[in-house]
Amino acid sequence: MREEEKVLAGVLFSPKHPELKAIKLKTHNLCTQYNLTFEDETEKRQQLTSQIFREFGENSFVQGPIYIHYGVHTKIGKRFFGNFNLTIQDDAWVTIGDYCSFGPNVAIVTPIHPILPDERKAILNENGEPEHMCYAQPVTIGNDCWLGANVVVCPGVTIGDNCVIGAGSVVVKDIPANSFAAGNPARVIREITEKDSMIYKPEILGPNRVIGRQNDGGKNA
C-alpha cells in the first residue's frame, strides 16, 4: 500500500515519507503564491485554487491568507466563502458542501497522533524501523453551513446541512442537520427553525424584504 493510500485508509502513516512531502511542498508553495496575490487578481487566484484543491466549486472564494496542507484531499462546493486565515489540514478527506460560509480563523484538522508519548516519538514500521507516525479521519461539512470565527473542526466529525456553529467552538463530535451548536467542546444548543427568520426581527430587517415572505412580523410565516 502506497503511503497516500494509508492516509486515506485511516491507518498509521509516516508524514515524512517522500511521497507525502512532495504533495505538501507543492501545495504549501501554491498557498504562498495565493497569499501574495491582490484580491482583485481574480484570474490568477482562480488558477491557483484550481491547482490547490481537488474540487473548488463555481463562484467560491477564499479571502486569504490560506493555509492548506495537501489540498488534493479537499473538495469544496459552489458559492463557498472562506474568510481570513482559513486552515485545512487535510491528511484525510475534507468535504465541504455548497453555500457554506466560514468566519476568520476557521481550522479543519484530520490527523491524529498517538496518545502515549513514547508512541508519538516512534512506532516500528513494517520493516522494523522506528518512525514517527500518525493517522487521520475525514471531516464532512454539509450544505448551507455557517461556521463562526475561530471554529475548530476535529478529525472524524460530520456536520449536517443547514448548521450554524458559534464562534470559538471546538467541534469534536457529529452535529445533526439544522442545528445551532456552540462551545468547547461544541454541543447542540437548539434546532434551527422557521422562527429564526429575519421577519421576526423587524427592527433589524428594516425596509428590506425576506424573499418569499411578507414583512408582516412573521404572522404569515
The three cell numbers of residue 101 are 460560509
SS3 141: strand
86 close to 34: Cβ distance less than 8 angstroms: no
| Catalytic entry in 17, 28, 73, 113 | 113
Q: In what order do the strands lie in the sheet with 107-109?
A: 66-68, 86-89, 107-109, 152-153, 170-171
Q: Is 206 exposed, middle or buried (0-12, 13-18, 19+ CB in 10 A)?
A: exposed
SS3 124: strand
Phi, psi (deg, nearest 5) at residue 6: -65, -45
Active site residue 69: no
The three cell numbers of residue 178 are 439544522
Distance CA 202, CA 213 (A): 13
Q: Could you list the active site residues?
A: 113
